[in-house]
Amino acid sequence: MGRLFWKFFLFIWLGQVAAVVGTGTFFWFERQQSHLRADQPPPPPPAFDGHRPPPNEFDHHTPPHHQPPPNGKPPGGPLPMFPMIAALIASLLCAAGVAWYFAKPIRHLRDAFATAAEGNLDTRVGSAMGGRRDELANLGQDFDRMTERLQALMAAQKRLLHDVSHEMRSPLARLQAAIGLARQQPGRVEDSLARIEREGERMNGLISELLTLSRLEAGVSGPQEKVDLGELLGEIVEDARFEGAAEQVGIDYAAAPALFVQANPELLHRAIENVVRNGLRFSPAGKRLRIEAKPEADGMIHLCIADQGIGVPEAELEAIFTPFYRGRNLATGDGYGLGLAIARQVISTVNGKIAAKMKSDGSTGLLVEIVLPAAD
């Protein structure tokens, strides 16, 4: 038994003992007082005033004198020891049961926390709580949710480390190959240096995106200010039209006036630009990318970015926002698989939402919807 059990047991039992002893003593004292009042002689009769004869010993209204008991013992009797002992035993069992009822689930929680501290996050205590419906059962459910969340985070970190190492392996291998080529063929040093420079820029871009994602996941989003979303979208659309011209992809843009949001302008620009560039990357030549922003009646701003590419299977619509994810239809391209993950983190910092959907008209392509709270 743990110390908590004995504390519960001691406090509950002492309380019940005090109640039993106090109640028994009170009733014993009351009985003693009633017998003492009965032993007192009756008050003397009133004096004769000449109007009626004095009472005699044969007057049936005169109470008889109380005679002491023949054995000489006090009329109240001893304390009721047997009922009190029975009550104490019953209180002992009751206190032990109540203490066990509270201490048992806490002991399960303590063992579960100790197991989780050792690194085993598979431990669950919900089943050990039985059919309880109290705060201790809620605490057990909270512990199970906590371990599930920690387990998911640990798995995500392991997957992220694996993906980062995989992404870094390819440019490092090309760097080593370029260095070896420069040593073997001194006449091609310029080509090798150009290759080394490109791979260095690639690694720098990957590390920059990883640092951005890490800061966002840690809650570091920088200062926020009132941003003119129309102006910000105009800059993004201008860059997208310049990039899309080389691939023969057109841009259709429409935005309502006076759209303002409270956000970090640099991060919001990067988030929306990532979604737009993702749409450009997977849009075939001759197709168009549609960007539309409008206010809603509920005080939110609705931004739609729709391409006419090959689309994404419905089962992968949620997974494309996880780091380094490349689905069956997204295996091509020179990205790192971090753009949409960064976009989701940025949008969540301003209490917005982002989601990918299939087009309702049945046409091919991906529709990304961003909902942002409008600033006053």
Residues catalogued as catalytic: 166
Beta-strand runs (E) in the chain: 225-228, 250-255, 260-263, 288-295, 300-306, 353-358, 366-373
Report which secondary-structure segment, H or E, holds 35. helix 3-39
Query: Distance between CA atoms of 77 and 32, rounded to whole angstroms?
Result: 8
**Residue showing tokens 């409270």:** 262
Residues 27, 33, 38, 43, CA torsion sign: negative
Helices 135-184 and 189-217 pack at an angle, to 10 degrees, of 170
Query: Distance between CA atoms of 327 and 165, rounded to whole angstroms?
Result: 19
The DSSP secondary-structure symbol of 296 reads -
Q: If we measure between CA atoms, which residue out of 236, 304, 299, 303 comes closest to residue 266?
A: 236
Strand partners, 252: 290
